[in-house]
Structures are given as structure tokens and as C-alpha cells.
Amino acid sequence: MKRFGSFLLIVLGFCLIAGLYLISARTQSAGKEAGRLERTLEQERAAIAVLKAEIAHLESPQRLSDLSAKHLGLRPTEPDQILTLDDVVVRVPLRAVPEQVSP
């Protein structure tokens, strides 16, 4: 009976050693994966920063003004081009409304 108990303890010890080895291997693998994901995240953050800088450049009011003047022939609005509602009523004649005939 002592031999069986000793054998059982030895087998249990080997099982514990194998279990610890598997846990250690999984932990190292998870650590490597976490490092890879952190590097990927930093690369994506850098790419986002570059894209934000490009958007800021492309949306620059001075750049857009220059492009509109160059390609579309647009220029800034002059004060005499702005109309109030009263000016619109005076400049644009109203259409005559046809009279409705009652049945």
C-alpha cells in the first residue's frame, strides 16, 4: 500500500509540473500577444495623428480660398451683394395671383 501511495504522489507531482508548464507557456504567449497589440495600437494612433494633420491642412480656410479663386473664379462677398428681406421685396416683383372663381 505504501508503494501505491508513493506512486500516486509521484504521478500527482508530474501532473502538477505539467500543469504549471502549460500555464507558464500560455502566460508567455499572452504576454507576447499583448505586446504585439500594444505596438499595433501605437502605430494606429500615429497614423490617426497624421490623418488629423492632413485634414487640418486640407480644411485650412486660406487654402480653400486660394483654390476657389484659382479653379472656380470665386472671390469674397462684397457688402453690396448682401440683401435684406426688404431689398428682396423691392427688387423682385411679386407674381400676380389669378383670381379664383366661386362655383
pLDDT value, residue 5: 87
The count of structural domains within the chain is 1
72 assigned to some structural domain? yes
Mean pLDDT score, 18-34: 95
Q: What is the pTM of this model?
A: 0.54
Q: pLDDT (tens digit, 9 = 90+) per residue, 53-99?
A: 999 999 999 999 899 889 988 888 888 888 888 888 777 777 777 77
Segments forming the whole domain that contains residue 75: 17-91
pLDDT value, residue 83: 82
77 assigned to some structural domain? yes
85 assigned to some structural domain? yes
pLDDT value, residue 102: 67
Cell (9 digits) for 7: 506512486
Residue by residue, what is the 3-state secondary structure of the chain?
CHHHHHHHHHHHHHHHHHHHHHHHHHHHHHHHHHHHHHHHHHHHHHHHHHHHHHHHHHCCHHHHHHHHHHHHCCCCCCHHHCCCHHHHHHHCCCCCCCCCCCC
3 assigned to some structural domain? no
